[in-house]
Structure formats: C-alpha cells, structure tokens
Amino acid sequence: MPTARDSPDPPLSADAAVASGAPGVALPVASGGDVDPPTVAVPAWTVAEGAAATEVAATEVAATEVAAGPRRGRSLAGRLARGLGELLMTAGILVALFLTYQLWVTDLFAERTQDHLHQQLVEAWHKPPPAPAPAGDRARPVIPPVELGDGVAILRVPRFGSDYAPVVVEGVAVADLRRGPGHMPGTAMPGQVGNFVVSGHRTTYGKPFNRIDELKTGDPLVVEVRDRYYTYRVTGSEVVTPNRIDVADPVPKRPGVTPTKSLITLTTCHPKFSASHRLIVYGELVDTTAKSAGLPAALKGE
Amino acid sequence: MYAWLYYHLPGPRGLRPVVAALLVLALVALLMFVVFPAVESVLPGGKVTLSN
C-alpha cells in the first residue's frame, strides 16, 4: 500500500491532487486524523489508486472548493444577491460617470464653444460695423443688438491671469450659459450708463466665474468690445439669496432710480456646487480706451 | 445580468469582447451627450442667475 513515504516529490501534492481532478478526494474529509499528520505529500496517481481514503491531507478547504463548484449562482437567493450586486455596481458606475461628465466633459464642451465664439467675434469685429455709432457718444450702444447665444464682448480680469478671456454671450438661459458667461438681456451693454449684468457658471461648463470670490475692491475688470476697452473697478461684493433680482437694477438695489454711472454686476452661484445663494460682484466704469490707443493700463502690466 | 447579456451577444465567440466594448462605448456616449445634459438642468448646481 503506497503511502506518502513512497512519494518522490514532497511539496504541495494535496492541492495538486485536487487540481488534477483526481476522483475521491472530496469524500474522505471527515475521516481525518487517524493517519500521521506529516503525510502531506501525495502525488495524484497515489490518490487515484484508492489510497485516498487514508490520505486526509486533502483538507476541508480543498473539499469545500470542489463541492461549491457546480452549485455556484444557481439558487434563487444566490441569483437575487448577484443581481442586486450588479445593480448596485451599475448605480455606482453611473454616478462616477456623471461626476466625470460634470467636472471634466462639460469643460471640454465649453472650451470648444468658447474657441468658436472667440473666432466668430474677432472676425465680426474685423468687418466694418453695420451701423456706425455716432462718434464720441458714450451713452449710445456701441454694439448693434446681437442674437441670443452670440458673443457680445470679451471679459478680461488681470487677477485671473492673461489667459483668462471668456467671451460673454447674449442671454442667460441654460443653453446660453453653457456657452459662456451671459449678459442679461435688457440690462445695459458694456460702457453704457446703467448696469451691465453678467451671469456665469461657478462650476462646470468651463467654470468662468469659479474664482470671482477672490476679487478685491479696486481690481480691474476689462470688457473688450469692437473698438474699445472698458475698464471697470470692483467696488464690492456680497452673497444674497437667489430672489434678489434687484441687484440687476440700473442702480443695484434701488429700483426706479435713474442711473448716472456705468456699472457692472457679476452674478454666480454660491457656495460652489450649490444653488442656495448667489455671489454678486459690483464694479464701476473708470476708464474707456480706444483700441487704436493700445491696451488699457489695467492690461499693460501683464 | 451581465453574464447573461454577454452570452447572448450576437456574433462568433472571438468577436464578443469587441462587440461588448463597442456597446459600452455607445452607452457612455449616449449618457454623455444626451442623458446627462438633459438631467443636469434639473439638478441645482448650475443655477447662477437671479429669479423670483
């Protein structure tokens, strides 16, 4: 009768016996203990010869693996658990994909649109204006009315670096704001007496107004239009509830008052990724520079 | 569910991974370009304007 001592190769034969599909390995598990424990080395052929009954080295673990094999995933409970697990994994992947979309893909969309808008706007500015504004009249709109979603002006903020130059589009509908910061229709155009109101995304879609909480009183906001630069200076900022539409009045928060100054008001959501409040930044026109005279002082330092 | 889907994919066995990858890509594209843009308008994060 062959025993482990006959075996020429001592190592790990219990697993090998199972792996090689030797019959009878799973059966004698319970009878273990009546043979000397060190007989671990059993090559597959010894087991196959029937010696397995005494070679208990094939432990409970191996036996369980063999027994579990054919039944896996067959019972109703098992299938339900598996289905539930797959559903939960699917939900997790969906959430991860949505975050990827919000934090990354929308920025890509906006970047493409902004490149396109830049090109369009610069091209339009190089063509002669359709109806030339009377020279020297600052109170009249310099820019002809634009279609919703079209570019109105380029906003430059030296504090955000020289690369920061989003095209402000006309309109504040969801679709307009996905293209860039939007000028609220009906409020003053750049440079006009009144309030030039611009709303922009704080997060997602290129997040143009992501950092406007960093603006400090006195910071320049330069608005570039066809033939000139309007330099505004920040006069203050505050956080308000979303229903405070009076910050968009010609004179902010003083409805009905006739404006005498050219103002700018930037609005965005606050805090980031929330709709609970709005962050408002106010500014006032301090300087108008013709493009023929070169860059305005606020942009020269770059 | 996924195992069932995988084994019911059309085409010869060797092509199944390719078909599965294409299906996943198509699904991701559908989400990114159609479903998510529609869904996010309902979510609060993007509201930046003032309203009553």
Residue A103 DSSP code: I
Instruction: Report percent pLDDT > 70 for chain A.
Output: 70
Integer angstrom CA distances of residue A238 from A37, A249, A252, A267 = 80, 15, 12, 10
Nearest partner of A268 among A202, A204, A206, A214, judged by Cα: A202
Q: Is A199 helix (H, G, I), strand (E, B) or coil?
A: strand
What does the pLDDT read at residue A63? 46
A148 touches chain B (CB under 8 A): no
Smallest Cβ–Cβ distance between B50 and the set A105, A204, A247 belongs to A247
Which of A125-129, A212-216, B39-43 has the largest mean confidence? A212-216
What does residue A151 show for φ and ψ, rounded to 5 degrees?
A: -70, 140
Average pLDDT along chain A = 79
Supply the residues of A annotated as catalytic: 201, 269, 278
CB A197 within 8 A of CB A182: no
- Over range A133-149, report the average pLDDT: 63
Q: How deeply is A97 buried, as exposed, middle or buried, from its count of CB atoms within 10 A (0-12, 13-18, 19+)?
A: middle
Q: Give the mutation candidate from B31, B50, B52 for the A interface (greatest A CB count, under 10 A).
A: B50
Written as six digits, the tokens of A92 are 């997790």
Residue with tokens 């606050």: A270
| Residue type present at position A155 | L
Q: How confident is the model at residue A47 (pLDDT cuts 50, 70, 90)?
A: very low
Q: Give the mutation candidate from B33, B34, B48 for the A interface (greatest A CB count, under 10 A).
A: B48
What does the pLDDT read at residue A69? 47
A78 touches chain B (CB under 8 A): no
Q: How confident is the model at residue A131 (pLDDT cuts 50, 70, 90)?
A: low
CB A284 within 8 A of CB A262: yes
What does the pLDDT read at residue A119? 95
Q: How confident is the model at residue A146 (pLDDT cuts 50, 70, 90)?
A: confident
What does the pLDDT read at residue B10? 84
A283 touches chain B (CB under 8 A): no
Residue A293 DSSP code: G
CB A171 within 8 A of CB A148: yes
Written as six digits, the tokens of A271 are 């805090």
User: Does an H or E element contain A124, and which?
Assistant: helix A106-126
- Kindly determine whether residue A275 and residue B28, on different chains, have CB atoms separated by under 8 Å: no
Instruction: Report percent pLDDT > 90 for chain B.
Output: 38
Predicted confidence (pLDDT) per residue in A69-85, tens digit: 445 547 899 989 999 99
pLDDT at residue A143 tops 80: no
B30 touches chain A (CB under 8 A): no
What does the pLDDT read at residue B14? 87
Domains and CATH numbers, chain A: 4-71 (no CATH), 101-300 (2.40.260.10)
A242 touches chain B (CB under 8 A): yes
Residue with tokens 């309902």: B42
Q: How confident is the model at residue A105 (pLDDT cuts 50, 70, 90)?
A: very high
User: CA of B39: which chain A residue's CA is closest?
Assistant: A98
Written as six digits, the tokens of A153 are 């002006």
Measure the CA–CA gap between A153 and A184, rounded to whole angstroms.
13
What is the nearest CA distance from A199 to chain B, expressed in angstroms? 6
Q: Is A21 helix (H, G, I), strand (E, B) or coil?
A: coil
- In A217-276, beta strands by DSSP E: 220-224, 228-240, 262-270
Written as six digits, the tokens of A131 are 């109806």
Predicted confidence (pLDDT) per residue in A152-194, tens digit: 999 999 999 999 999 999 999 989 999 999 999 999 999 999 9
Predicted confidence (pLDDT) per residue in A3-26, tens digit: 444 444 444 444 444 444 444 444
Residue A258 DSSP code: P
Predicted confidence (pLDDT) per residue in B17-37, tens digit: 999 999 999 999 999 999 998
Measure the CA–CA gap between B4 and A236, rounded to whole angstroms.
62
What does the pLDDT read at residue A139? 56
Predicted ipTM beyond 0.90: no
Please, what is the Cα angle at A106 between A101 and A111, to 5 degrees? Answer: 145
What does the pLDDT read at residue A286? 96
Please, what is the Cα angle at A141 between A146 and A297, to 5 degrees? Answer: 105
| Residue type present at position A287 | D
According to DSSP H, which parts of A148-282 are helical? 174-179
Measure the CA–CA gap between A224 and A174, rounded to whole angstroms.
24
Predicted confidence (pLDDT) per residue in A230-284, tens digit: 999 999 999 999 999 999 999 999 999 999 999 999 999 989 888 889 999 999 9
What does the pLDDT read at residue A275? 84
* Cβ count within 10 A of residue A267: 29
